[in-house]
Structure 1
Amino acid sequence: MATFLQSTIDKGSDILQDFLCSTCEDKKLDNMADFYCETCVKFYCGKCIGMHSQLFIKHAPYGRGDLKKWPVAKQVEDFLLKCDVHKDKNLELFCDNHIELCCTNCAILNHRHCQKITLISDIVKSQSTDLQQLSVSIQTILKELKKLQDNQEASIQYVQSSYDEQLHKIQNTRREINVALDTIEQKTRKEMLDTLTKLQASTKSEADKCIRLRDELKRLRDATQDISDKSKQELSFIATRKCEGIIKQSKTFLNSTLQDKFYISFQPNSEIVQYLTTLSGLGKIEPMMVQDNPNKVITVQGKSEHNVKISGDSNECNISAILVLPAKQVLVADFNNKSVKLLDQQYQVVSHCSVTGYPLVLCDITPSEVAVAVNETDMNINEVQFITVNNRQLVLGRKLQLQHACIGIAFQKGDMYITDKTALYKYTLNGKLVSKMYKDTSGRYTGKNHC
């Protein structure tokens, strides 16, 4: 019986069936067979077939071009015949009620109440199978599964990228809240400092007046003592009037001035903390589906005109591309002014940035990052410029320099697809050229047109 190379199953190879050279196998060598001799019922590799042909001139071995005439390998038979549940049993029966293959154990345990269980050996006498058509169907489904797998893997990368972007946005939100709280704290500190200054100025003014009155009273007291025994009637009269005046001022001052000490008290606004404790988070988090259906029918519900020209524009606006991000932010490429502009939901320009050449196409990479195809033939500029939307501002990122024109760009499953006038190229996000996928020089713009 032919020996089947088990590693082809273990590795999930597309080549399900392969054979070892019988002669080499006897020598403990694992060499794949290239020929099968039906007369010898043995397999031979390219080296061993020479000796076989010399010894058995009349034998007519079949090469790999006649694989249909090779026998089925034992491992292939075991792979197909063995019951998936009872590994030591072969599939011998078919249950029409459940449309299931089964061994004798399966029939006893799971199908004993079924009305029609037939021997496979009897079924094949009356029914034929089309393995070629079955193989085509399997290949079709394999392609679809591979496509779905690639899409799911790309989705994992995409959602991870969006997670990183939104995490950055959460951090920015926290910083904005910190800035707002810092501003409130600074205002409160200033208010308390103003109160301190006001209280200290008022108290100092009263202290200065108190010092002045005490000084004048001391001087008058000393003066009256000096003239009290010298019979100076005029000085005594004047001294008396002055003393009475200062005493009156002092009594008025004492009666009008508060004797209590002041201190500054701060009462926190408890509503701030109470409001923060009622919040479940810094914002709303929800999954959003990216629409990848190219056949979706789009219905135009209306149109409107908006002016996106800004004071720094030296030319009339020429919008070469428009892109709407998942957060409903609108980006426009202004060809004539070599700039990209960010619009709010009222289509007012809230941010803009200049690029080195004429922007042709916008393509979203992540929910907040876009790639811009930039060209200027006279300056030999062929670039992909990355721009990030951060807190309603456009931030220039890295640039990729290309060796060909860049008039069309798309992003799919982690790779960029860029066209010049006549060819399509596949690039990684880091700017590495993967392959030239297509070229057609039959026309001037067989790739994506620049207008």
Structure 2
Amino acid sequence: METSLLICIIHKGEKLRMYCTDHSHLCCSKCVELNHRLCLQVTPLPQAATGKSTNFKNLSVSTENTLSQIKQCQTYQEDRMKSLKVSYKEHEGLIVDGLRVNIVSYLRECETSTVNTTHEHMQYPISEMREEIKYLLADFEKSTIKEKKEELNLKQAPLKVVRNSCIRLHYELFHLHVAIPKVLGKPELSFIASKKCLENIQQTDIFIKENFSNKVFTVNGKSVHNVKMPSDSCTCWIKAVCALPDGQVLVADLSNYKVKLLNQQYRVVSHLDVKPLDMCLITPTEVAVCMQDEVQFITVSQSQLAKSRKLELQHRCKGIAHHQGDLYICTGTALYKFTLSGKLVCRVYEDSSANLTVEKCAVSPTGDRLYIISRYQNKLLTLARDGTLLATYTDPALRVPSGLHVTPAGQVLVCEWGSNTVLQVGREGESKLATLATREDGVRRPWSVCYSSTTSSIIVGLYGDNNILVFRVE
């Protein structure tokens, strides 16, 4: 452990001997020769460590928080890779199954159209046709799977790079976290361990910000899609939207008491009769729908919806969000955290000063920030994991916020019923980064918003409108 602490992280074969105060940098002889010859305050490590004290308790807390964040980043990337794998496997199966159905249908037509008088003459050609089609199908299946695997590998590659960086950063910081208590009482080693630990925390923070950044979306196209079904008796009111990894989309239509599944062309292919107030993704093929005082789980398989288990609650359920096994539920004035099995963990936040102060919520990809919209207070609140209020965003343009979504990269989207706009807000929840769409773009009484990383699009659900809006973004 002592040996590893003394090794220079840049020049692996060299030992740390100096400390540059000008750059707050631990140095070996090569570091000094190459990068710190002109620095005025380069001192030997024993001298630099003399009389220096570090608040190791605070450092330990900061280290544990950073370790937790980087682990969540790693888990998030792994979940995305799993989602891609599941969606591609299902897509492959659908393509092959569709081809099988078409071929079987074609053969049946051939056999049916063959008249009895020519049956004997046609039997051999049909048998030959069967064999030929069987080989063609096998070749198609093989080539399709190969093609899809290559496509999957291409999409997973950048996720693996980020995942591997998370593993490396976590390992390095965890090693230092373990080392610090063991070198207390050894001034030089304690000094080195604390400085390396702070450097690693800084590197990790930069890494998280780069990969979960405030990159501003640019809209480069729009399409409109009708989601009303012939059996619908009312004009649609899309209270929530969920984008699935395979490109399909779920919409919660409160007016018609339905959750509808849309295919990649945004056409309704399946539905369930429920009374949805909000909805969130649990896995690539499962969503949770809040319905007054209960949560209904719905699964998606082979482009069909099916109800699964249900959670009964002791309070109202107006908004819902999920993050790595934690279920966040808004009651209208409070935010509660549950396990997926329905066990209450804690009350995270409460504001009973008015109605609908806690209507909808969303969670950052790393789980360190919670976002809440207060509809009639015209506010977006940002909370820490423990419910501490970090920021309150208000703006003349923020009128009656109704929809909230956080993208896989941590970008915060808010749609506003009062001003007919879709905004992008900074990750810190303190300022507006961009107005992405307005009334001129067809945004009239927006009630829900969602980003699909599969199609690089922002989907907006409207109140009293049979259409959803799909904005292509970069």
| Secondary structure of 1:359 counterpart | coil
Q: Deviation per CA, 1:193-248, whole angstroms, max 9, x where unpaired? A: x44x2148xxxxxxxxxxxxxxxxxxxxxxxxxxxxxxxxxxxxxxxxxxxxxxxx
Q: Are 1:151 and 2:73 an aligned pair?
A: yes
Contact 1:425 1:435 in 2 (8 A): yes
Deviation at 1:339, TM superposition (A): 0.6
The aligned counterpart of 2:17 is 94
Contact 1:162 1:366 in 2 (8 A): no
Deviation at 1:419, TM superposition (A): 1.1
Pick the structure with more strand per residue: 2
Match of 2:129 among 268, 273, 277: 268
Q: Are 1:354 and 2:265 an aligned pair?
A: no
Match of 1:281 among 144, 163, 188: 144
Taking the aligned partners of 2:4 and 2:253, their CA distance within structure 1 comes to: 67
Deviation at 1:121, TM superposition (A): 4.6
Report the AA paired with residue 238 of structure 2.
Answer: I
Q: Cα gap change, 1:165/1:429 in structure 2, threshold over 3 Å: closer, same or farther?
A: farther
Taking the aligned partners of 1:182 and 1:96, their CA distance within structure 2 comes to: 76
Q: Are 1:406 and 2:317 an aligned pair?
A: yes
Q: Deviation per CA, 1:160-185, whole angstroms, max 9, x where unpaired? A: 45544554554455444443443344
| Secondary structure of 1:431 counterpart | coil
Q: Cα gap change, 1:265/1:426 in structure 2, threshold over 3 Å: closer, same or farther?
A: same
Contact 2:84 2:245 in 1 (8 A): no
Question: Paired residues, what number?
Answer: 288
Taking the aligned partners of 2:250 and 2:121, their CA distance within structure 1 comes to: 60
The aligned counterpart of 2:229 is 310
The aligned counterpart of 2:389 is none
Report the AA paired with residue 281 of structure 1.
Answer: T
Report the AA paired with residue 424 of structure 1.
Answer: L
Task: State percent identity of aligned pairs.
Answer: 33
Contact 2:18 2:44 in 1 (8 A): no
Taking the aligned partners of 2:212 and 2:46, their CA distance within structure 1 comes to: 48
Contact 2:18 2:45 in 1 (8 A): no
Taking the aligned partners of 2:270 and 2:212, their CA distance within structure 1 comes to: 31
Taking the aligned partners of 2:16 and 2:337, their CA distance within structure 1 comes to: 52
Taking the aligned partners of 1:427 and 1:369, their CA distance within structure 2 comes to: 17
The aligned counterpart of 2:62 is 140
Q: Are 1:395 and 2:258 an aligned pair?
A: no
Contact 2:84 2:246 in 1 (8 A): no
Q: Deviation per CA, 1:59-111, whole angstroms, max 9, x where unpaired? A: xxxxxxxxxxxxxxxxxxxx8799768xxxxxx982469x7689xxxx9xx99
Stretches of structure 2 lacking an aligned partner (at least 5 in a row) = 8-14, 160-209, 361-374, 376-401, 403-474
Structure number with greater Rg is 1
Taking the aligned partners of 2:296 and 2:6, their CA distance within structure 1 comes to: 55
Stretches of structure 1 lacking an aligned partner (at least 5 in a row) = 1-78, 86-91, 201-260, 376-381
Taking the aligned partners of 2:63 and 2:244, their CA distance within structure 1 comes to: 34
The aligned counterpart of 1:442 is 353
| Secondary structure of 2:129 counterpart | coil
| Secondary structure of 2:232 counterpart | coil
Taking the aligned partners of 1:318 and 1:448, their CA distance within structure 2 comes to: 17
Taking the aligned partners of 2:121 and 2:4, their CA distance within structure 1 comes to: 96
Structure showing greater relative contact order (alpha-carbon pairs closer than 8 Å, 6 or more residues apart): 2
Q: Cα gap change, 1:96/1:324 in structure 2, threshold over 3 Å: closer, same or farther?
A: closer
Using the size of structure 1 for normalisation, the TM-score is: 0.51
| Secondary structure of 2:101 counterpart | helix
Deviation at 1:147, TM superposition (A): 0.8
The aligned counterpart of 1:227 is none
Contact 2:276 2:290 in 1 (8 A): yes
The aligned counterpart of 1:11 is none
| Secondary structure of 2:117 counterpart | helix
Match of 1:342 among 252, 258, 261: 261
